[in-house]
A and B are shown apart, each in its own frame.
Chain A
């Protein structure tokens, strides 16, 4: 039995605001030293799947740099290994060949599936979970399924975000509703599918499926009605971190005493590309409690309840609370960062306040995305010394002093473009 994995990593992830302005969702940093896609990639190699294609389209450079030839995952192989698949033109000068959705992306790349692959594992590049795919594959074979989807229980109020299913006692899916407003089911598809190769090709190239763009919304419902589709229940931790709130919560959840996603003791190693950095240094005045810190960090100030990526510097007298700070960001003396997500190489000037005040005005441009008090600072932005930035504020990537209207930015505002 030979299996190939295809990871859908071309999505924009618009709900992640400025974090995905400069990179695809799969390449967003997570948990300090990882990128979101590391979890899916590591699940593949830890499950002995060494033939992996990553489908890209939106802002792929960061992802390309990260995956490279696949060395951190031992996917730099002579046969198989990892391949990055980009959109391409099929005829000279063809326009409009961009991929319109997940099903479209797969259809474009069916030829990349080696003839020897009996099954194709379709994965999302933007989920956080640790999963051994081997039991799923065994289940798929034991049922003689055309397609098997991994499913999990979700609370009823969350059902509108997922594809909801009903299955018979043997696990065969008898009903599938995509993002229903109302449903009696609490079993949700996780967006993880094993297809018999022939079933995938047929679903995407024959019949009505030929025209469909969206896997979960269009192809799967039709498939459930037409062929034998099974549901494989997964019990472990799984999070779709596609919104700022979900992303923030999933990071913060790592700080618990025994977190549901246990990076430290599970024996399921998540591999990532890392730069060479020395040990983290804690200075004489540093006060750190409840935090994740990575190699190369230098902490002389106070850090509580926060996740820090490699190379972050927190100067003496600075405070970081309830925040996520990414690679090589600098928090200068006296600055306070409270409930913020600070992207790579941001500089928070001396005595500046980010996430200041008690007003929780939702972001005026994106009220439905930023309304829980989290301020997001884009990559390489520079917050001027002494500035006060409120809550639910978005600071665009590369924003500099000239982009700030004054030294005070009220809650809900957006700085820069």
Chain B
């Protein structure tokens, strides 16, 4: 069996708001030091898979910088290693990737060049730790055309997933993409092992009919009758942090120490690219409780239930709680950051109050369906003027400065968008 992994990392991740308006979702920072894609990439190398293609399309620069030549994952290899596969033009062909399967179809030559007979299709925006080897073994033993990793989800979430029905042997008998009424809670995790020839035949047969050729919508449903599709049950922790709510909740679980995601397991290390930073410095006064704090941070204020990425500076008298603060952001003296997500290089002026008020459920006026549970989000490099009081579910766009706040008074009401 010759296996190549392809990681789908081209999606826009629009529901993450300003966190993904300058980078692809897989490149969004997570748990302080990591990017979301680190989990999938590390799963690959920890599973002994060293031929990895990453399909990019939307805002790839941050991702390109992060992956580089793949050194942190030992994927800078003479043979194989990591390749970033961008959309490209050819003679008589100049299309962007139309859908997930279309992206794979356009890179079929990559699989052929590697003489792969088996391809592992992964998503770059899931947080989970998984050894792919047992799944690949099962796929081979059963001579399957496709093996789909599945897990049980809550009955109220079935409409977000592809739901599968199987016979006693684990063979898929029905596949329903995001059904309103689900006959089962067994959900597709978006982790597929395909026989390359079967996949190529299906993609080529369906491509003329669908410009947005998609695994869940087109490829898999078309194979249920005619091909051997099996499930592989996955029991571990898996989460899609595709919404601000999910992102915030998942991060908060990690700070509590109660998360089922154990980052400290030396047997399954999550690798990432990191800059050289000195140790985190606490004090002389200052404290951190129920928090994740990375190298390069300086904490002179009070931090609780929060995630601080490398290089965050919390000034004396500042309070940070229930928040996620990314690299090199600065929280000024006496400022309060409550239930916020601050992207990189944000400056919170002295005495500013971010996340003020009890009205957690006042939705954002522009995106009421996306931001309605409280977190105020500040885009990369934004500057919050001193002594401003900013409410809940506020969205502050990347790179805004004091001028953008001039239209508002001292208090910026919940649900506002500043750009």
Contact = CB atoms under 8 A, between A and B. Distances in A.
Given A276-B272, A279-B31, A294 B307 contact: no
A202 to B, nearest CB: 40
A296 B32 CA distance: 12
A161 interface: no
Interface string A296-331: 101000000001100000000000000000000000
Interface string A27-57: 0000111000000000000000000000000
Given A289-B283, A290-B284, A291-B283, A279 B276 contact: no
Nearest to A278: B263
Contact of A286 (B33, B279, B281, B289): B289
A276 B270 contact: yes
B155 interface: no
B284 A33 contact: no
A278 B280 contact: no
Residue with the greatest number of chain B CB neighbours at <10 A, chosen from A283, A284, A290, A298: A284
Contacts of B255: 281
B286 A289 contact: yes
Given A257-B284, A264-B278, A293-B279, A298 B292 contact: no
Nearest to B290: A284
A279 B307 contact: yes
Contacts of B282: 288-293
Given A269-B276, A294-B295, A288 B290 contact: no
B407 interface: no
A33 B274 CA distance: 14
B104 interface: no
B403 interface: no
Nearest to B306: A282
A33 B298 contact: no
A24 interface: no
B298 A264 contact: yes
A276 B31 CA distance: 14
A270 interface: yes
A255 interface: yes
A287 B304 CA distance: 11
A272 interface: yes
Nearest to B275: A269
B326 to A, nearest CB: 12
Contacts of A281: 255, 257, 264, 291-292
A312 to B, nearest CB: 11
B264 A293 contact: no
A271 interface: yes
Contact of B293 (A256, A271, A279, A307): A279
Contact of A293 (B272, B286, B293, B307): B293
Interface in A94-134: none
A72 B264 contact: no
B267 interface: no
B289 A278 contact: no
A286 B289 CA distance: 6
Contacts of A263: 278-279
Contacts of A284: 256-257, 289-290
A255 B290 CA distance: 22
Nearest to B72: A276
B59 interface: no
Contact of A278 (B32, B288, B308): B32
Interface in B262-320: 263-264, 269-272, 274, 276, 278-296, 298, 307-308
B289 A292 contact: no
A292 B281 CA distance: 5
A294 B263 CA distance: 15
B281 A283 contact: no
A177 interface: no
A295 interface: yes
A281 to B, nearest CB: 6
Contacts of A292: 278-282
Given A264-B298, A284-B289, A291-B283, A278 B278 contact: no
A280 interface: yes
A281 B270 CA distance: 16
A207 to B, nearest CB: 45
B279 A33 contact: yes
A257 B71 CA distance: 36
Given A276-B271, A289-B282, A289-B285, A283 B276 contact: no
A264 B294 contact: no
A31 B279 contact: yes
Given A264-B298, A289-B287, A280 B278 contact: no
Contact of B33 (A257, A295, A298, A307): A295
B258 to A, nearest CB: 10
Instruction: Please provide the 4 A-B residue pairs with the shortest distance between their CB atoms, ordered closest to farther.
Output: A290-B283, A279-B32, A263-B278, A278-B263
Interface of A: 31-33, 72, 255-257, 263-264, 269-272, 274, 276, 278-296, 298, 307-308
Given A33-B278, A279-B31, A284-B256, 8 more contacts: A272-B276, A276-B72, A278-B270, A280-B280, A283-B290, A284-B257, A289-B284, A293-B293
Interface of B: 31-34, 72, 255-257, 263-264, 269-272, 274, 276, 278-296, 298, 307-308
23 contacts: A255-B284, A257-B284, A264-B278, A276-B72, A276-B271, A276-B272, A278-B31, A278-B33, A278-B263, A278-B292, A279-B263, A279-B308, A280-B294, A282-B291, A283-B289, A289-B282, A290-B282, A291-B283, A292-B282, A293-B282, A293-B293, A295-B295, A307-B279
